[in-house]
Amino acid sequence: MNKIKIAIQGVAGSFHEQATCTYFNSNDLNIIYCDTFDQLFKLVSEKNHLGVVAIENTVAGSILPNYRSLQENNFNIIGETYMRIEQHLMTLPGQNIEQIKEIWSHPMALRQCQSFLNNHPNIKSVEKEDTAKSAAIIRENQQTNTAAIASEMAAEIYNLEIIERGIETNQKNFTRFLIISSDQEIIKTNANKASICFTIDHSTGSLAKVLTFLSERNLNLTKIQSNPRLGKEWEYFFYVDLLFNDMDTYLRSMDELKPMVSELVLLGTYKDGIKNKL
């Protein structure tokens, strides 16, 4: 039986890997690790792999470049999962907080642990490309006086000792991950959520008219995010997530919405993953 090929950003032990195993409810997957999101998007586009991509965090906010990449590459969102993010401080065994001179992690992880970092002003925060990779490098180089902020999975994989647990500032720290495909034919039969993006002109009340239209069709707007339109000064794409009760009503509403906007892109219909937050 062929394993599902899934591209993620990061290395073994990353939050992307945890989210992937949670969504697919399995550790028996063919996970392809990518250094960057661009590499991930290329594999999804050219090799027809699935991809798991972080899109927003309740503390650090939206990852705007990923919104743009979803649209520009014409990817299809086929699912989502929400994961509680627990950040731990880890070192080579035998180290303690008084010995630490630098803390390495992804910029978003550092931001999520700002209160802890503020309480240790003598320790330098160093931005790295990935949480788990920071842990991997510390193990590989036997880096003393250095700690990583990463997951418990990363500590186990790279045999590091967690010296401070749960150092995230906000304990209700969740990241939303999207499952993406290049296959536009994949539509979940139990879909009740959609992601769309559109542009509008600068006429007075144009955005309000769109939002009113969606409300009148009983489409529950759960997220709206603006992103600059490259090459078009002061023009924006609006990315919107919608919950709906009936697929036909949703599709009919999208047809009716097209004349009201300058450009409309349907990014995907899928099953709401909010249950995973509980």
Report pLDDT digits (tens) over 100-145. 999 999 998 999 999 999 999 999 999 998 999 999 999 999 999 9
- Angle value at C-alpha 59, between 55 and 61, nearest 5 degrees: 40
> What pLDDT sits at residue 1?
57
Count of beta carbons in the 10 Å neighbourhood of residue 164 = 18
Domains and CATH numbers, the chain: 5-85+173-181 (3.40.190.10), 88-164 (3.40.190.10), 193-277 (3.30.70.260)
For 185-262, strand residue ranges (E) read 193-199, 220-228, 236-243
Residue 79 has pLDDT above 60, yes or no: yes
Whole-angstrom distance, CA of residue 61 vs CA of residue 176: 10
Q: Which range, of 61-65, 150-154, 177-181, averages the lowest pLDDT?
A: 61-65
pLDDT of residue 148: 98
Give the pLDDT band (50/70/90) at residue 278.
Answer: very low
The pLDDT of residue 60 is: 80
Q: Determine if the pTM surpasses 0.85.
A: yes
